[in-house]
Chain A
Amino acid sequence: MARLNLLLLVLLTVCALGLVTSQHKARKLFVELEREQARTKALHVEWGQLELETRTWALTSRIDKLAHERLEMRAPDPRQVHILRRDLPARAVENR
């Protein structure tokens, strides 16, 4: 009887310690999850801000201005544009 009691006591202690460790692990994992979620959110916010920044830099009016002024680009004269049609062989386009 006394031996059984002793065995049960040992079992109980082991279980109790196991509970404590797993609880601790769960807490730690949870904190990590929290941190990652916060990071997700922060990255999401940053992404939104970067998207805004991209849009601001890539405003059509700004690109238009830079292309004209700095790169001295201009739209080609329509007469200089050759339109290739997929259903016509290249030679036919040449002769047009």
Chain B
Amino acid sequence: MKFAESPVLAPPLPLWRARVVVVLIAGALAVLAGRAFYLQGLEYGFLQAKGESRYSRVLEVPANRGRILDRNGEALAVSTPVKSIWAIPEDVVASRRDLKRLADTLEMSEDDVRKRLDGQGRDFVFIKRQISPEIAARVAALGIAGVHQSEEFRRYYPGGEVVAQAVGFTDVDGHGQEGIELAFEQHLAGRAGTRRVIKDRRGQIVEDLEGSHPAQHGRDLVLALDSRIQSLAFSRLREAVRRHRAKGGGIVVLDARTGEVLALANLPTYNPNNRAQLSGGSLRNRAVVDIFEPGSTLKPLTIAAAIDVGRVTPRTRIQTAPGTLTIGPATIRDAHKSEQLTVTQVIQKSSNVGAAKIALMLRPQVLWDLFEQVGFGREPDLGFPGEASGKVRPYKTWKPIEQATMSYGHGISVSLMQLVRAYTVFADDGKLLPLSLLKLDSPPRGVPVLAPETAREVLAMLETATHPGGTGPRAQIMGYRVAGKTGTAHKQENGGYAADKYFSSFVGLAPASRPRLIIAALIDEPSDGEYYGGTVAAPVFAEVMAGALRILGVPPDAPMKPIELPGPDDEVRESV
């Protein structure tokens, strides 16, 4: 019997059963094909990511913060990479001995380390931040599980306390907190990037993948500051503050042609490299942020306003006898009595009565206009955080006595930066220069404020003030003609004037034949008996000016004769 004829093969089963099986199998195949199509064609992202995650990694590429340089390219702030040690407390597997060794390597106490690792409920703790790469390598060599390290940047300030308030500092995460670091944060800060790579079994990168964002490094910032002049200004200021047992002081050196700030120093100061010191009043850049009543250093502006509108000439005689001027209940006094003074002598001898009388010849608006035009009452626009705008009350509310006292710098407040800026009108033929903390490629255009003749006449008057017979002979420099004005003002305290606390100041320009530098020096509360601007602030001015002119190689414009100082009896005392 042939196989095919076997009766067993005779179909005892109905045909539909076979069909059901065929349909079921076809259906199952269709489901499989559909699923495969779904995974491959429609929902492929998930699986692809899963696959890639076996070998590809996304790395963070940290960005460098830009350096801060002085005008000669010397670094004032530099970032270098350091390591931070962190841990996931739950993951840390460490014996007592391990912890001890970790603590020793990091120069911490063992308790301190343990306390950090016990940080309850926290899944990320820094053990120590910003340590040197060498120490970090030793920590890595300990091989404690759960203790990791990451790269950070630390900011160093080679200039230290000398430029502290100007440059400012960053916080531990590298964001600007004060000074230029804060003002130019956008320029300095970089943006961290990412990089997608394939890593092999040993953790080495073997290939770059698409989808990387390169890090954008911060850009360098070139300041107008000159480190040499800054260092000189700072050391002379510190000497003067020590010698006169003062509370503090400030000094600003300005390029008279460009308005660039060549030096900006303050006391008290701090060391920005030491994080423990980064709080308190010494952080303030007093020259920019604090305001004071400038006193007699404002007289040249009053006189300039009067000359500019043609009310007086340098030779006009002003009756200052008997040395007092009474307006209503108040009396203005001169320290030295004289019969008549020319307008030039009012500046030279710093006569309050003279300045007040000249001011009272003017309409209030004339004086106010000039104050406004030289930038009093508004910020000097340096871009520095917290710039003071000073206080000048609207002229419509001025009473005659106020107009009189304002002429010699009382009842009006400015910052040292505003004061030094105002003097640019005497340097550049009556034009007010915008100030700049950054190095400029070309000198900016000044805004005309005074007639050029007026500016030159006032400059000549200011020169007489530094000669014997003026209030500031100690501002003289051998070989250079110096123009400048002393200022001595009572400090304000609790709404009134403190009887025995003073601001001593000096603002001056040199060489007077063609001013190159303007320097303003301010000493806060000199308390060793001397407090006149001419004896306290003028010597600081002279030392810094002489040094700075030599550094810049400015040719002398006067014969090399020893400086004549008046004897103790013929010294001209300033009216306070």
Contact = CB atoms under 8 A, between A and B. Distances in A.
Contact of B75 (A34, A55, A83): A55
B79 A59 contact: no
Interface stretch (B32-40, B201-209, B294-302): B201-209
Interface string A47-60: 01101100110011
Name A's interface SS. helix
A61 interface: yes
Name B's interface SS. mixed
Interface in B152-182: 156, 158-160, 162
B231 interface: yes
Contact of A55 (B79, B158, B235, B560): B158
B560 A48 contact: no
Contact of B560 (A56, A59, A75, A78): A78
B556 A27 contact: no
Given A30-B206, A48-B78, A52-B158, A83 B555 contact: yes
B235 A61 contact: yes
Interface string A71-95: 0000100110001010000000000
B478 A79 contact: yes
Contacts of A64: 231, 235
Contacts of B81: 45
A64 to B, nearest CB: 8
A62 to B, nearest CB: 10
A34 B200 CA distance: 14
Contacts of A60: 227-228, 231-232
Interface in B467-484: 478-479
Contact of B156 (A52, A59, A61, A85): A52
Counting contact residues on chain B (CB < 8 A from A), the size range is 20 to 34
Contacts of A45: 80-81
A76 to B, nearest CB: 9
Contacts of A49: 80
A61 B158 CA distance: 12
B514 interface: no
A81 B162 CA distance: 30
B205 A52 contact: no
Interface of A: 27, 30-31, 34, 45, 48-49, 51-52, 55-56, 59-61, 64, 75, 78-79, 83, 85
Given A34-B204, A60-B228, A83-B555, 7 more contacts: A27-B206, A30-B205, A30-B207, A52-B78, A52-B156, A55-B75, A59-B231
